[in-house]
Structure 1
Amino acid sequence: MLLVLCVDLDDDLGRKTGIPTPVIGADEVTEAAVALATADPEDSDVNVLFQGVNVYDELAAGGESVEVAAVTGVDGSDVRANRAVGQEVDRVLAELSTGEEVSAVVITDGAQDESVLPVIRSRMPIDGMRRVVVRQAQDLESLYYTIKQVLADPETRGTILVPLGVLLLIYPLVVVANLFNIAGAAVLGILSGILGLYSLFRGLGLEDTVDGAAASVRNVLYTGRVTLVTYVVALALIVVGGVQGMETVEVVRGVRGAGITAGVALAAFVHGFVQWLAVAGVTSSLGQITDEYLAGRFRWRYLNAPFYVLSIAVVLYAVSGFFLPAAPGVTSLELSDLAMALAAGTLTAVLSTLAFAVAESQLPSADPT
C-alpha cells in the first residue's frame, strides 16, 4: 500500500484552522486544505495538501492501493516538531493497519519540512518525495531556510558575520577618521590587523584553548585560590628580574670598558636575573602548596619545590658570578667559592628530598583523591 503523506512541520493547519491532526482520507484532506486556504490564502501548506490529493487521485486512477494523510509538527522547535510528526505517522499507520507493507510518497513545501524525512524513513520506506513551491519563487524557501540555519548556528555565524562586519565597517570608520584628521591608512591598518588576528585565531583553532583558559581563570577567582595572587606576584618579580638582568649587563660592560662577549653578557644577565627568579619560584610554589593543603591533597614531598628552586638559583648565581669581574651589584666568585656553592646547592636538594621522604613515610598526609 502506498501512503501519500503531506507534511506540515510547523502545524499551520492545526494552529490556523483548529482541525485535529493527523487528517486521513482524500475527502478529509481536501476539506482541511479548503479550511486552511480560507484561513490563510497565502500559506504554502495549502498547496501541499492539494498536491497530496492530486497525487492520490493519479495513483488511485491507475489502480494503485493508496491512501492520503496530512501530519503536522509543532511551531518553534525542529526537534519537537520532528517528534510530533513521528507520533502522528505512527497513528496513521495504526489506523491503516491493512496488513500490507506501507511505503510513502512525501509531499512538502520546502527544505525545512524535509528535515523530517529521517523520522518518516525510520517507520516505513519512502518511495518518493515531491516539493511543492510557487513557480515564481522556485527555491526561494530553500534559500531562506539555508540562510536561517546558517545564522542560527553560533559557530557559523561567528565565522561569517564577524569578518563581514569588520569589512563593512572599514569605509564608515575611514570617513569618521577623516573628520577628526586621522589618517585613513591608520584605520585600515588597525582593521586589517584585527581581521588578520581573527583569521589566525579561527584558522589555528584556538577557540577551545581560550575558552579553557577563561574557565580556569573564573574557577580560580570564584574558588579563592591563593595561586592567583602568588602567580601575579611571581610574574611581577620575573619582570623586575629581567630589568635587573639587563642593568647588570650594562654594569659589566661599563667595567670592561669595551665590548663583551655573548657568554659574558649571558652570565651577567643570569647573575642579575636569577635572584628575582628564585623569589618568584618560591612564591608560586608556596601558593601551590597552600592550595593543595586547603584542598586536602597535601603531600610532604610538595615542600621540596621551594628548596629545589633555591638550589638551582644558588648554582646559577655561583656559575654566572665565576665568569664575571668584580663590579657594583656583581658577586665575583673564585673557583673555591664556586665549588662551595655547587656543593651547597646539591646538598640542599638532596637533604630536602630525604627529609620530606622520611616525613611522608612517618607523618600523616591527605589521602589521594
Structure 2
Amino acid sequence: MGGGGKADMRVSEELDMILSSRKFDAVVLVSDGPTDELVLPLVQSKIPVLSVQRVVVQQSRGVEESFMLFLRYVRKLFEEEKYKKYALGVPGGLITLYVLLSLFVPGFAWPLLVAALGLALLVKGFSIDEYIAKTYRTSPILLTALVASALIVLLALASGLGGVSSLGGAKGLEVLGYFLLTSLGEQVLVLDLLFAAALLPLVAQAVEAALGNKHVGAREAVAIVLLVMLRQVMFEYARLLVGAGSILSLLLWVALAILALAAVVAILPLLGYSRARGSQ
C-alpha cells in the first residue's frame, strides 16, 4: 500500500476514522507484500500491533520483493553518478555517433558504429587506456613514439593496399613484393614506413635513457642495428618477389646483417666492461 506521503496521510486519516468510531486494544496488520508493511510504524504510532500476518494475493512475496530490488537497481543506474555515465552516457554517445555517421556516410554507418564499439570494448577489456595513462606518466617520449608509429603503420597499410589494388595479374608472394615496394612520392617506400614505425619506439627508449643518464640497454641496441640491416634485406627480398632482384644481392645483405649483428653482440660486453672499470 506504500506510495509516498499522500498514501501515508490517507492511511492515517482512515485509521483515525476507524479508531474514533469504537475502542480497540490492539490490531493485527494483514499484509500481502513488503510495500504494505511500510505503514507498520504509522499504525504502531496510533495503536499497538500484535502481529503481522502475510497472505498471498495474485503473486508470491518473492516475486514482489525481486521486483522491488530490480527497481532499486534501475534507479541507481539512472541516478548515481558512477553508474549513469554507462547507463545513459554510453548509449547516448552511440546513438549520436550513429546519427552523425548516417548523415555523412550512410552506407557505412553500422560497420563503423560496430567497429567503434568493438574498439572501445578492446581498449577497456585489455586496459589499454590504463597502460597509455601509465606510459604517459613514466615515458611521455615513448608514448609519443608509439602513437606516431601507429599512424605511420596506418599510412603504410593504406598506401600499400591502394598500390596493390590496381594490380591485375599479381598473385601470392608477388603481391607482398609490390605492397612493400609501393612508393609514396619518389623516395619513400611502404617498406621504409614499416621499418620507421618499428624503429621509433626503440629510438624513443634510447632518448629517454640518455636524458635519464642511463646507457642504452643491450636489447635496444641489438634491435636497432638488426632493424637497420633488415630493411635492406627485405628490400632485396621484395625486389626478388617481383622479378627485379637478384638472389646474390639478397644473400649478400643477409650475410652483412649477420656480421653486423655479431659485431654488436661482441662489442656490447666490452662497452659494459669499460663502464664498469671507469666507475670503479
* Cα distance change, pair 51–262 in 1 and its aligned pair in 2 (3 A): farther
Indicate conservation of the 8 Å contact 2:152/2:194, yes or no: yes
CA deviations on 1:77-131 (whole Å, 9 max, x unpaired) are xxxxxxxxxxxxxxxxxxxxxxxxxxxxxxxxxxxxxxxxxxxxxxxxxxxxx78
Aligned to 1:269: 179
Identity of aligned residues (%): 12
Query: Equivalents in 2 of 1:193, 1:244: separation in Å?
Result: 21
RMSD of the TM alignment (CA)? 5.1
* Cα distance change, pair 53–283 in 1 and its aligned pair in 2 (3 A): same
Aligned to 2:169: 259
Matches of residues 4-15 of structure 1 in structure 2 within 5 Å?
none
Asked whether 1:54 is paired with 2:47, we answer no
Following TM superposition, by how much is the alpha carbon of 1:338 offset from its aligned partner in structure 2, in angstroms?
2.0
Query: Equivalents in 2 of 1:194, 1:246: separation in Å?
Result: 23
Q: Which ranges of structure 2 fall in alignment gaps of 5 or more residues?
A: 1-25, 27-37, 183-189
Among 280, 291, 295, which residue is 2:197 paired with?
280
Among 73, 76, 81, which residue is 1:149 paired with?
73
Provide TM-score, normalisation by structure 2: 0.55
Asked whether 1:317 is paired with 2:241, we answer no
Secondary structure, counterpart of 2:50 in structure 1: helix
Indicate conservation of the 8 Å contact 2:136/2:143, yes or no: yes
Following TM superposition, by how much is the alpha carbon of 1:283 offset from its aligned partner in structure 2, in angstroms?
1.6
Matches of residues 1-369 of structure 1 in structure 2 within 5 Å?
44-47=40-43, 54-55=50-51, 143-152=67-76, 208-209=124-125, 212-223=127-138, 225-243=140-158, 245-246=160-161, 249=164, 259-272=169-182, 273-292=190-209, 299-301=216-218, 302-325=220-243, 332-364=244-276
Following TM superposition, by how much is the alpha carbon of 1:280 offset from its aligned partner in structure 2, in angstroms?
1.9
Secondary structure, counterpart of 1:333 in structure 2: coil
Following TM superposition, by how much is the alpha carbon of 1:352 offset from its aligned partner in structure 2, in angstroms?
1.8
Query: Equivalents in 1 of 2:158, 2:116: separation in Å?
Result: 30
The letter of the residue matching 1:209 is G
CA deviations on 1:261-304 (whole Å, 9 max, x unpaired) are 33222222224432221222222211133335556775531222
Indicate conservation of the 8 Å contact 1:151/1:157, yes or no: no
Query: Equivalents in 2 of 1:295, 1:131: separation in Å?
Result: 76
Following TM superposition, by how much is the alpha carbon of 1:309 offset from its aligned partner in structure 2, in angstroms?
1.4
More helix by share: 2
* Cα distance change, pair 233–44 in 1 and its aligned pair in 2 (3 A): same
| More contact order relative to length (CA 8 Å, sep ≥ 6) | 1
Following TM superposition, by how much is the alpha carbon of 1:234 offset from its aligned partner in structure 2, in angstroms?
2.1
Following TM superposition, by how much is the alpha carbon of 1:250 offset from its aligned partner in structure 2, in angstroms?
7.9
Query: Equivalents in 1 of 2:274, 2:158: separation in Å?
Result: 45
**Bigger CA radius of gyration:** 1
Q: Which ranges of structure 1 fall in alignment gaps of 5 or more residues?
A: 1-29, 31-41, 56-129, 326-331, 365-369
Following TM superposition, by how much is the alpha carbon of 1:215 offset from its aligned partner in structure 2, in angstroms?
2.4
Query: Equivalents in 1 of 2:44, 2:162: separation in Å?
Result: 82
* Cα distance change, pair 208–264 in 1 and its aligned pair in 2 (3 A): closer
Indicate conservation of the 8 Å contact 2:236/2:246, yes or no: no
Aligned to 1:74: none
Query: Equivalents in 2 of 1:192, 1:163: separation in Å?
Result: 18
Indicate conservation of the 8 Å contact 1:271/1:316, yes or no: no
Secondary structure, counterpart of 1:226 in structure 2: helix
Indicate conservation of the 8 Å contact 2:43/2:49, yes or no: no
* Cα distance change, pair 163–46 in 1 and its aligned pair in 2 (3 A): same
The letter of the residue matching 2:170 is I
Query: Equivalents in 1 of 2:241, 2:114: separation in Å?
Result: 49
CA deviations on 1:305-346 (whole Å, 9 max, x unpaired) are 211212322221112222334xxxxxx433332221111111
Indicate conservation of the 8 Å contact 1:150/1:157, yes or no: no
Indicate conservation of the 8 Å contact 1:241/1:276, yes or no: yes
* Cα distance change, pair 287–146 in 1 and its aligned pair in 2 (3 A): same
Tell me the matched-pair count.
221
* Cα distance change, pair 244–191 in 1 and its aligned pair in 2 (3 A): closer
Secondary structure, counterpart of 1:260 in structure 2: coil
